[in-house]
Amino acid sequence: MKYTQLLFVAVAVSAANVIKDPTAGYKEGDRFFYSPGDEDDILHLVDSHEAVDEEFIQHYARNPNNNVYWLFTRDNPDNHQVLHFNDIDSIYNSNFDTSKATVFLVHGWNGNGNNNKNRRLREDFLRDDDVNVIVLDWNRLANRNYVTAANGAPAVGRALGQFINWLVSLGASYDQIHLVGFSLGGPLVRNAGWETGGKIKRITVSAENITKDPTAGYKEGDRFFYFPGDGDHTLHLVDTQAPVDLEDNPDTHQVLQYNETFSVVHSNFDTSKDTVFLVHGWIGNGNNDMNRRLRDAFLQDGDVNIIVLDWSCLAYRDYVTAVLGVPEVGRALGRFINWLVSLGASYDKMHLVGFSLGGHVVGNAGRETGSQVRRITGLDPAGPLWHINEDRITENDAKYVEVIHTNANFLGYPNPCGDADFYPNGGVAKPYPHQTLPYSTLHFDEEKCITHTLSQFCYADLTFQGVSAANVIKDPTADYKEGDRFFYFPGDGDDTLHLVDSQEPIEQDFILNYARNPDNNAYWLFTRNNPDQQQVLHLNDAASLHNSNFDTSKDTVFLVHGWNGNGNNKMNKRLKEAFLQNNDVNIIVLDWNRLANRNYVTARNGVPAVGRALGQFINWLVSLGASYDKMHLVGFSLGAHLVGNAGRETGGKVSRITGLDPAGPLWSRNTDRITEEDAQYVEVIHTNTNFLGYTNPCGDADFYPNGGGSMPGCWTNTCSHGKAYDYMASTVTYNHLLANQCDTLRDATRNRCNGDLNPMGNSDLNKYKVASRQPPAGRDPRSEETPYS
């Protein structure tokens, strides 16, 4: 999901005479300025030093009903219907239609749900198409002072994102959602998009004039340029010849209580643990998004000390003053580190992380310690005014210095300056701009480049980028062994790793309650007549079947997601499209997200009950005329074990089951796992036997592409795990992957197979159908197969 920021110029006239724009002449750092109130043509005087009403923001954020959602449709174009978060009746009793596109309209400062902007856009959208229009009225916060409203916008946005996630859980689709935000509503809808994981289809930030990127065209030596404030998406005009203001340069060591042993002894600081320092950049502060995201990521990953350096008193000065103050801020941080070591801490347990100007701050801090700290990570160190600046970050500032360059074409420093310099996407502004770098995401594997240019042509010798401890570490899912208490597991191929505690309490009450209500399993029917809009089928509700496009004479394919997945995820979309393109079949997607999104241990323990419910649903379909011989069950990760239990509930009568890299952790001694007895023919495709997937043969045919451990093009277990459904979708379309039969599992996992060729995957329901549990002629029922390469 890309977010586009559009800049605008507001023009106003005053009283009797036409005067120049009162917003003109503003320069960054002015205490007072004028800002229009949400396109109402009224300019309001803003005091940038006005106190932020944090108590009001927190009170507002605690109650989700402070966000008011007004629904308009063609059936009620003028009179809104109020929707309440987590109140299903408010949805069912309204005109909201999950099959239609949904547009959210979000006002800005001093606005409300009834303002002219919302009315005009609502009328335009409803005139153009039959859609749901939901107006977010957040006027209780939007009508506070500008500084308070701006500080509260992210919390309002996150609440909107949670509301959208809830709508999707009720059948709406991220692919049909469009967010439109004006003025402060712009950053608000961006936060909503982030809360959904970037899944929504489109975001529009409304503005008066569309301008080109004002940072483009800069060359070193220009007097004026624009620079963003520490990832806040706000561009500030910089005058490199502005008078340098050193008078109020802050004494940062006093802020951090340097030399006050009492403040350390009576804190939770533990000298035996690793310590991570986080340092923001220009126009940043200790509470900004960068610090929050990195803090949360580090604390989730390990039991460490996190020390956030807030140098906002200097960072909020003009850019030139901030640049000249960086070395002293860094040296003060270095002296603070030396003092901590004198109290028992260790340089070998220190990791300094700095963004933008903060990248140069941590370099100076490391230098002040005599380069004794263990590791420094510079996140796109600032570029302007640093090209010939000897105080920039260098490879000599710590035992190991790593630099990640994401905007080397201007905002970031372009040249190598560490022991290892990473240039994702060549170090240019795509796919993520400088100010939206996903700091805490562990998802880049970079190659060591032949030269130090920005060339993307690199050779192998891979290093995992952006990890958390003092040393550069490999894939955090590596080295797991069955029985370990803690491990990482991805959320159903979404590339996000979640820390799992295998001893976390099982939510048995939730599982029992889930299993008691068969409607907690949602069955979504897709056919060639409705390839994009699902029809919901209900167990024991014959009318839901007869009034749908379900055809008992056609083959039926069930698709089942895994942990932290849902019916709309990438796996289901890819496989649904492949099967419908290949043949005229019924596709039924099982959405069990209410249980799948609990902790891993609870979800794992709930799999058998969900599987049995699916089996009962299949038995019911057969009682209405469907045939077991036309049933194909496909499940990914935890979903693979789920379809095994479903097949078992039918007495092993379904024609075929395909398990796509069945989940491995906590399944090695679990009798509820998928087995060869669960259907007439059970096929399993293993793509990550290294950890995330189940290793041993468990079907009538087990395929181990590339040996089953690591897939081509993948450098993490998460990527290899997700390849299972990619391969399946490809074989359904092309039926092109062949495998040599193997004599032993050892041969399969080492690519040493020379037996007969057999097709992997595909959609053939008669493939190797086992009569009376007997294998095809000349084939060992417990053999393992791996694609020929």
And the tokens for 335?
């002296």
Residue 306: helix, strand or coil by DSSP? strand
Give the CA count within 13 Å in the CB-facing half-sphere of 343.
18
**661 in active site:** yes
- Provide the 10 A C-beta neighbour count for residue 296: 12
Q: How far apart are CA 269 and CA 305, in angstroms?
A: 6
639 residue type, one letter: G
Sign, CA torsion 263/273/339/310: negative
Evaluate whether 344 touches 321 at the Cβ level (below 8 Å): no
178 residue type, one letter: H
CA distances from 505 to 132, 166, 498, 563, 668 (A): 41, 25, 17, 17, 20
**637 in active site:** yes
Residue 548's Cβ-count burial label (10 Å; 0-12, 13-18, 19+) is middle
Q: How far apart are CA 326 and CA 361, in angstroms?
A: 6
**461 in active site:** no
Q: How far apart are CA 223 and CA 549, in angstroms?
A: 67
Sign, CA torsion 493/497/503/504: negative
- Residue count of the chain, please give it: 789
Q: Check 206, 356, 637, 730 and give the catalytic one.
A: 637
Residue 506's Cβ-count burial label (10 Å; 0-12, 13-18, 19+) is middle
SS3 content of the chain, % helix, strand, coil (to 5): 30, 20, 50
Buried b (16+ CB within 10 A) or exposed e, 322-341: bbbbbbbbbbbbbbbbbbbb
Q: How far apart are CA 107 and CA 377, in angstroms?
A: 39
54 residue type, one letter: E
491 residue type, one letter: G
In DSSP terms, 178 is beta-bridged to 103, 202
Buried b (16+ CB within 10 A) or exposed e, 405-427: bbbbbbbbbbebbbbbbbbbebb
Q: What distance lies between CA 389 and its chain's CA centroid?
A: 37
Q: How far apart are CA 197 and CA 179, in angstroms?
A: 14
Q: H helices of 170-288, where?
A: 185-195, 252-255, 261-265
Q: How far apart are CA 373 and CA 321, in angstroms?
A: 28
Q: How far apart are CA 328 and CA 324, in angstroms?
A: 8
Give the CA count within 13 Å in the CB-facing half-sphere of 689.
21
Q: Check 661, 672, 700, 747 and give the catalytic one.
A: 661
Q: How far apart are CA 296 and CA 275, in angstroms?
A: 14
Residue 112's Cβ-count burial label (10 Å; 0-12, 13-18, 19+) is middle
And the tokens for 243?
């008078």
646 residue type, one letter: A
Evaluate whether 630 touches 563 at the Cβ level (below 8 Å): no
To the nearest 10 degrees (0 to 180), the angle between helices 508-516 and 600-623 is 10
Phi-psi region of 183 (alpha: psi -120 to 50; beta: other; left: phi over 0): left
Evaluate whether 555 touches 586 at the Cβ level (below 8 Å): yes
What number of helices (H) and strands (E) belong to the chain?
20, 31
Q: Check 721, 726, 763, 783 and give the catalytic one.
A: 721
- Catalytic residue list: 637, 661, 721
